[in-house]
Structure 1
């Protein structure tokens, strides 16, 4: 839980860390619910598939997901934040 809180501090929100592409997201019909920060945190802690991956932390920058842009920035060790 401490690591999740640290990632939230870098990303700005639990929602930024939450994967809306997760199979469970669709199965649980979460897209039709009004989720709040505490809900995103709860679901991420409840099941690992709700955490967007990969999460790469370089110094004080966090890179979330596997888009080409995010991977390119992370591989350069950029200090820019990409969410």
Structure 2
């Protein structure tokens, strides 16, 4: 998988982390609203994180809007939802040297920074 930064352009947290990481030119930016994740990318991310559920953003407005919080979702449901709408993917995601850094927790951002600094 190529070096990639998957983010949402309108997300302030994604913008802050993008500036913080100081990505090299070898990393391609992918605004998930304009270019939603592909099935291939989703499968790769699932392999990295061990489940579709771990890639799912429960803070998305559509999560409550579709009453998904009241349902018992399966892995297949999570996969379908992730491919259905860009807001359901946890973000940002940095894929760098075949390692995925998923989400915006301080720990994940620190790990991504460390990986980028080791170049």
Structure 2 portions without partners, runs of 5+: 1-38
- Normalised to the residue count of structure 2, the TM-score between the two structures is 0.61
- Tell me the SS of whatever aligns to 2:51: coil
Superposition RMSD in Å: 1.3
- Tell me the SS of whatever aligns to 1:77: helix
Cα shift readout 1:33-81 (whole Å, capped 9, x = no counterpart):
0000000010010000000001112334321111111111111018xxx
Structure 1 portions without partners, runs of 5+: 79-83
- What does residue 49 of structure 1 align with? 87
Tell me which structure has the larger Cα radius of gyration.
2
Correspondence list, 1:20-59, <5 A = 20-59=58-97
Bigger RCO (CA 8 Å, 6+ sep) = 2
- What does residue 12 of structure 1 align with? 50
| Most deviating of 7-16 and 57-66 | 57-66
- Normalised to the residue count of structure 1, the TM-score between the two structures is 0.86
CA distance in 2: counterparts of 1:48 and 1:22, whole angstroms: 10
CA distance in 2: counterparts of 1:55 and 1:36, whole angstroms: 23
**How many corresponding residue pairs?**
78
